[in-house]
Structure 1
Amino acid sequence: MNDVYGQPAPWPLKIIIEPKEYYLGEEGVIVLNITNNACSGRVDKKDIMSWTNQEKSVTDPFVKRAEEMISEGRLLAYTLISEEQYVVGDKEYGNYKLSLYGVCVGEPIEIRSVAIWFSWKGFGRALISSIEREAKLKAFDAAYYIINGQDAGSSIVVEIVFQFPSTLPPELVPTDPVVPNIEVTMRLPSGTIWTFDRGFKVNGGLTIIPSRTFKLKIMDNSGEMPVPSGILRIQALIHTYYLREYTFSEGSEILIERLPDEYDYLVTVLHESPYTGTEEVFRAIMNSYELASSGALKTNLYNLKIVPLDLLGRQLNGAQVFLNNITKTSKDGVAVFNLVPAGNFTLNVKWMNEDVLKQWIWIGYHSTLNPSGAVPEYITLTTNVGDLIVQVSDAEGNPIGAYFSVSGPGVEINEKHERDGLLILHQLPLSEYQILVKNYSEVVDRIVSASILHRPGKGEVSILKLPIYKVTLNVLTIDG
């Protein structure tokens, strides 16, 4: 980590950025040519080159490079001395000597790593890319460059892979070539290792194309379950001929490549529903930034958890629940219907092969029925299912034991004995049940029976009296 105390002066690096085009949401290789431009002193190099009996034009490239070095401050002056000149036709010949004055000389450094990032609000240095690259660079030798046209030992080419964000707000997308922030960690001649982020001479820039590449998921309304298949359509509003269509399956992410920022789009999702057939389950106007930032489209597909209850509020485990033409069996009291589109549906519940509920149910937004558009986590429904409770008593209302035979939907009981005369049958469809009750009297050696038609209810007890009486006999002596 750099120490603010004793901070060295910025090192004179020359960095050339290779001009290339990059797309938001894609990886790009940023190419930097880094040169050690140190200049701690100057020297003269007289008669560094000479030409004998040569056409003067052969000196032109060297003079041009000398002029370039003067413009960059690497050279103060030069002279080209001509001797014994003569002309042949339109060409000049002679002897020439090139001398350089005030040529920069400097110390070598060792590059350790290079990093880049952009000053984008919300991203900044958190989105940084770096590469470890160790290289020893001597100071750029202007004289060597003038003579040879290059000085490879003073430069390195660094390639850094940078992930451009797909969610960069449109107002931050640069319209002109942009220069990233560059950090170079190096070992100085003093042995100090330091990271410099300023003081460089930077040429060139990057062009960022305002088109985005991103992945998009198609989800249910809660955002928890992917939609397994369908068609995504993205159509420009003004230039309607600009239409993209993506078929997705198995809940996979859709790769949207280089969607331009310049349009607003009508975005729709079609889904083949087993409940209603092909449905448009999403429709919105969005731009490419909004699509990329969303990461997922929440469609008008809902996961319903339907809980059928009896009249006493208890769950019906194993009930058959019908939503339009789709049947589910309640498990642990809950019937689950996945990816149900918005709309009106017929809902039936069967219990013991009897219809115990039939109604309409609206799912999703409706201007009057459901203006909030919310769908509860659990939809509870009270069905026509209750308890059948019969108490047998004698003529005076005292409970007596009895044998019960019951016949009706879902029940066939033959002479079930209840010592206390109380029969309780839970969760029966609300229908009529034929109940036959028998009691055997040992006193008179006779079977007394009675039958009724009875319907289950919310726990009400039905009393069935048999013509049996309690007789008390007092045996007296002859005198009373």
Structure 2
Amino acid sequence: MSEGLLHRVWQLKKMTSTWLIIVLAMALITLFNQPAMAQPARWDLKVLFLPLGPPQTDARGAGPTWLASYGDTYFPGEMANLTFQLVNVDCSQRIYTPFVKEFRRAWESDVSPVFERARILKEAGFIENYSVQDTNIEIYGDRKIADWRLEINGYCSGRAIYVESATVWFAWKGIGRAVESTARIERSLEALKPLDYILKNDINSSITIFTTKLMIPPSVDPSQLDTQPTVTIRMRYPSGFSYEYDYSPLGGPEGLEIWGLRGAAYGQFRLSPYRTFSLYIRDYEGVIALPGAEVVISAYVYPFKMSLSADGEGAVEVRRLPDAYVYEVRVNYTVPLLGQELTVLIGSYDAYRLALAGELRTELYTLRISPVDRSGHAIEGALVRIMPAALGLGVPEFAVENATRGGYAAFYLVPTGNYTFMVEWRGVTVFRGYRYVGTHPTYGFASPSFSISTGVDNLVLMALDKAGNSVGAVFTIKGPSAETSFYQIEAADGVLRLPQMPIADYTVSAANYSKIFNVRVEVTATVRPGGEVRLSLPIYGVVLRALSMDGKPLSGTLVKLHSISATTDTSGRALFAGVPTGTYQVEVVFENITVHRGLVEVRDNVFEDLECSVYDAHVRFLSADGDPVIVHWSLSSPGRLLEGLGAEIMLELLPEQEYRLTAKLVQDGREGLILDKNVLAFQLRDAVFTLPLGKLALRVLWDDGTPFEGHVSALGDSRRVVGGVVELGTLPFGTYNVSVI
């Protein structure tokens, strides 16, 4: 596509988007500028209920009738065909121009129905007044012929209404519009025309009849059987907008002579007190259906009884059960656990309560048995057995078993009664007891889901030396069953954890073999699960503490025992676990220097301090006069150099070796070496080095012994002689030139 064409396409898209935004904006402005419209008044419609359905076409001229009562037609729980008639009786305006109708030479019997319909409409308010005049009267026996003049004033003139649909529902308690049925009408109804009715007895253009199917809920409250339907009619008003209004059917025969149809029967809705409903027969939890169950319903007083068999989904269909009685309901079922039929429910109900429930939950329970160990943890895979021997049902003793999955073992459709429960784990019975399932006559109801605390606990074996230190071991366990016996299990850390073991006597052995010492030791004991079992082997713990010659712990120091090594902790201790009896060479290495060699004898647990050739250094530098001398000192050894400035040295933890110690005197910005000596670490403990220097003092006299007064010059410095005495300071030993001035 060329660049120019692409540009034009882009411009077109941009213009399209701009116009779309403008159109949307104008639509919103128009919407928000519309005035608020209130819902108009409800349309004047008459709604009638036809209990027997649409008018009979073969009624042969029979007029409409109002049924004060009728036979059983509508039943809770059954489908109902509901027929209604709608009449548009709108009278939005009246015509006051007199309407005149003349009848020439008409028999009175022919025109009297017309006059009667005028009277009816006046009484009903559709016309305000009318008058009848007869002239040129002739009498023939009991018959009259004349010219008749009928004048009608103030008659209604209404509007047509388009009916879209009608929704039928009942205000039954707890049901309401949850159950409803809608019929599509889609018809325009002219308003009732008084002149057509009076003159032609015709209102067909103003009425419509519809029938809709509604499934009556089986659980309608008995006090609401006479609740009348509500008809919600959706109409399109002359304005073009559609609205919905609720209507109730007429409650009496008033107006039937106007809008009643030939052959039609009108009346009020009534439900008959006989219920049809489905009952689902299930277990106690309402989960498992009981196909083939027999349901027997018997009235307590009236000789009424029905027996029903549940279908494949566990349901029975109860048809038209009278509301008037209270019934005993029994459910009989062949229980798979026993292989024989039992009565699994006896209850007292009325028809309404049965229909409302929709199900019968029997006394067949799902047992969920959760075996747990002594710590409350579920035992997955345990075998649970139940034995219904205590039911007293005449069946031979047998057991039903199931393994736990997801923490419990499930047994389905278990009837009420006493049961023996057993739990087997790892081939050992760890529980045996009794429990009543269902509602006990004395103790009440016990939950069918429960836990069983079994004789199961953790077996924790710890191989230790005589000092309580864990040592690696190989364990052998002989339990009460093959599933509880284990052989040659290695535990490098000396701890073997066997979870969830049946509580019983176990013979266990722990063996420790040391390749280093070439010694094998073993211990055997009888133990039971629960808590930690400590197995003490005939080997020992050796704790060696490395200390300097000043009693300070040597942390991070390598200690060798036999051919194994350990590093000391902050307290100078090195631990050796699992050492057999014997005498062993010990060596301590501090800063890569062997500071201790010796022997350790092991006959029991050992705790021994090792004095190591490591010293604290405290060195003082003095002049020949005993005064402290500040020097620049250094202390060096292979791979190590320490230095400083001062009259003393204080150092900690110097391993025994030869060091070179030097001291330099700093005077007039110059350093002079005054000490250079090789020493051992132990020689630096509280050591004093007297340096070759001292105070230089001169006494200057005249030949006659008189003290000289003047100056002395030495080392480029001039000092005043007072009383024949002058001090030149502390100087290294040597020969100096002195001038007396």
Aligned-pair identity in percent equals 26
State the Cα deviation string for residues 3-57 of structure 1 (Å, max 9, x = none).
997955x655444321243222334232122223456347545345877xxxx79
User: Structure 1 residues 105 and 199 mapped into 2: Cα distance closer, same or farther (>3 Å)?
Assistant: farther
Give the letter for the 1:354 counterpart.
V
Q: How far is the alpha carbon of 1:411 from its aligned partner?
A: 3.9
The within-5 A match list for 1:138-177 is 138-141=190-193, 144-145=196-197, 150-174=202-226
Is 1:259 the counterpart of 2:314 in the alignment?
no
Q: How far is the alpha carbon of 1:361 from its aligned partner?
A: 1.8
Secondary structure of 1:208's counterpart equals coil
User: Structure 1 residues 179 and 143 mapped into 2: Cα distance closer, same or farther (>3 Å)?
Assistant: farther
Rounded to whole Å, the distance in 2 between the matches of 1:336 and 1:470 is: 55
Give the letter for the 1:266 counterpart.
E
User: Structure 1 residues 350 and 22 mapped into 2: Cα distance closer, same or farther (>3 Å)?
Assistant: same
Give the letter for the 1:406 counterpart.
I
State the Cα deviation string for residues 68-116 of structure 1 (Å, max 9, x = none).
55335367566788977768xxxx8896777654385533412324344
From 44, 48, 54, the counterpart of 1:16: 48
The within-5 A match list for 1:74-93 is 76=130
Secondary structure of 2:321's counterpart equals strand
Is 1:272 the counterpart of 2:345 in the alignment?
no
Rounded to whole Å, the distance in 2 between the matches of 1:354 and 1:149 is: 98
From 148, 162, 174, the counterpart of 1:111: 162
Give the letter for the 1:102 counterpart.
I
From 26, 42, 46, the counterpart of 2:101: 46
Indicate the residue corresponding to 1:241 in structure 2: 304
Give the letter for the 2:302 counterpart.
H
Indicate the residue corresponding to 1:328 in structure 2: 402
Rounded to whole Å, the distance in 2 between the matches of 1:353 and 1:278 is: 35
Secondary structure of 1:259's counterpart equals strand
Q: Is the 8 A contact 1:214 1:257 kept in 2?
A: yes
Rounded to whole Å, the distance in 1 between the matches of 2:499 and 2:301 is: 65
More displaced 10-residue stretch of structure 1: 138-147 or 331-340:
138-147
From 292, 301, 305, the counterpart of 2:364: 301
Q: Is the 8 A contact 2:157 2:191 kept in 1?
A: yes
State the Cα deviation string for residues 337-356 of structure 1 (Å, max 9, x = none).
33433322221111123222
State the Cα deviation string for residues 126-162 of structure 1 (Å, max 9, x = none).
7665444232223434565566664422221122444
Secondary structure of 1:275's counterpart equals coil
Indicate the residue corresponding to 1:282 in structure 2: 345
User: Structure 1 residues 16 and 314 mapped into 2: Cα distance closer, same or farther (>3 Å)?
Assistant: closer
Rounded to whole Å, the distance in 1 between the matches of 2:241 and 2:484 is: 93
Q: Is the 8 A contact 1:167 1:293 kept in 2?
A: yes
State the Cα deviation string for residues 351-401 of structure 1 (Å, max 9, x = none).
1232221111222322444x2x2517x522122223444455678877665
User: Structure 1 residues 105 and 357 mapped into 2: Cα distance closer, same or farther (>3 Å)?
Assistant: same
More displaced 10-residue stretch of structure 1: 427-436 or 329-338:
427-436
Secondary structure of 2:381's counterpart equals coil
Q: Which has the larger radius of gyration?
A: 2
Rounded to whole Å, the distance in 2 between the matches of 1:160 and 1:133 is: 11
The within-5 A match list for 1:276-425 is 276=338, 277-324=340-387, 325-369=399-443, 371=444, 373-375=445-447, 378-391=449-462, 402-408=473-479, 409=481, 410-419=483-492, 422-425=495-498
Secondary structure of 2:439's counterpart equals coil
From 533, 552, 568, the counterpart of 1:461: 533
Give the letter for the 1:25 counterpart.
G
Q: How far is the alpha carbon of 1:461 from its aligned partner?
A: 0.6
Is 1:231 the counterpart of 2:294 in the alignment?
yes
Structure 1 stretches of 5 or more lacking a match? none
User: Structure 1 residues 122 and 397 mapped into 2: Cα distance closer, same or farther (>3 Å)?
Assistant: closer
Secondary structure of 1:209's counterpart equals coil
Indicate the residue corresponding to 1:212 in structure 2: 275
Rounded to whole Å, the distance in 2 between the matches of 1:283 and 1:298 is: 11
Give the letter for the 1:461 counterpart.
V
User: Structure 1 residues 319 and 97 mapped into 2: Cα distance closer, same or farther (>3 Å)?
Assistant: farther
More displaced 10-residue stretch of structure 1: 291-300 or 321-330:
291-300
Indicate the residue corresponding to 2:503 in structure 1: 430
Rounded to whole Å, the distance in 2 between the matches of 1:357 and 1:6 is: 76
Secondary structure of 2:208's counterpart equals strand
Q: Is the 8 A contact 1:219 1:296 kept in 2?
A: yes
User: Structure 1 residues 66 and 196 mapped into 2: Cα distance closer, same or farther (>3 Å)?
Assistant: farther
Rounded to whole Å, the distance in 2 between the matches of 1:315 and 1:199 is: 64
Rounded to whole Å, the distance in 2 between the matches of 1:171 and 1:268 is: 27
Indicate the residue corresponding to 2:549 in structure 1: none
State the Cα deviation string for residues 201-233 of structure 1 (Å, max 9, x = none).
66432222122333444444344x243433333
Aligned alpha-carbon RMSD (Å):
4.4
Rounded to whole Å, the distance in 1 between the matches of 2:105 and 2:119 is: 20
Report the count of equivalent residues: 455
Q: Is the 8 A contact 1:82 1:94 kept in 2?
A: no
Secondary structure of 1:463's counterpart equals strand
Q: Is the 8 A contact 1:319 1:330 kept in 2?
A: yes
Give the letter for the 1:292 counterpart.
A
Rounded to whole Å, the distance in 2 between the matches of 1:208 and 1:393 is: 87
Indicate the residue corresponding to 2:605 in structure 1: none
Q: Is the 8 A contact 1:267 1:285 kept in 2?
A: yes
Q: Is the 8 A contact 2:300 2:325 kept in 1?
A: yes
Rounded to whole Å, the distance in 2 between the matches of 1:396 and 1:188 is: 102
Rounded to whole Å, the distance in 1 between the matches of 2:233 and 2:241 is: 13
So what's the TM-score if we normalise by structure 1? Answer: 0.75
Q: Is the 8 A contact 1:234 1:265 kept in 2?
A: yes
Secondary structure of 2:440's counterpart equals coil
Give the letter for the 2:152 counterpart.
G
State the Cα deviation string for residues 255-307 of structure 1 (Å, max 9, x = none).
44433211112223333333344343333212222222224334333333322
Q: Is the 8 A contact 1:395 1:465 kept in 2?
A: yes
Q: Is the 8 A contact 2:231 2:248 kept in 1?
A: no
Rounded to whole Å, the distance in 1 between the matches of 2:485 and 2:285 is: 45
So what's the TM-score if we normalise by structure 2? Answer: 0.52
Secondary structure of 1:207's counterpart equals coil
Q: How far is the alpha carbon of 1:473 from its aligned partner?
A: 4.3
More displaced 10-residue stretch of structure 1: 154-163 or 318-327:
154-163
Q: Is the 8 A contact 2:49 2:84 kept in 1?
A: yes
Is 1:25 the counterpart of 2:77 in the alignment?
yes
User: Structure 1 residues 80 and 317 mapped into 2: Cα distance closer, same or farther (>3 Å)?
Assistant: farther
User: Structure 1 residues 80 and 111 mapped into 2: Cα distance closer, same or farther (>3 Å)?
Assistant: farther
Q: How far is the alpha carbon of 1:414 from its aligned partner?
A: 3.7
From 124, 133, 152, the counterpart of 1:102: 152
User: Structure 1 residues 80 and 131 mapped into 2: Cα distance closer, same or farther (>3 Å)?
Assistant: farther
Q: How far is the alpha carbon of 1:250 from its aligned partner?
A: 3.4
Q: Is the 8 A contact 1:13 1:200 kept in 2?
A: no
Q: Is the 8 A contact 1:393 1:464 kept in 2?
A: yes
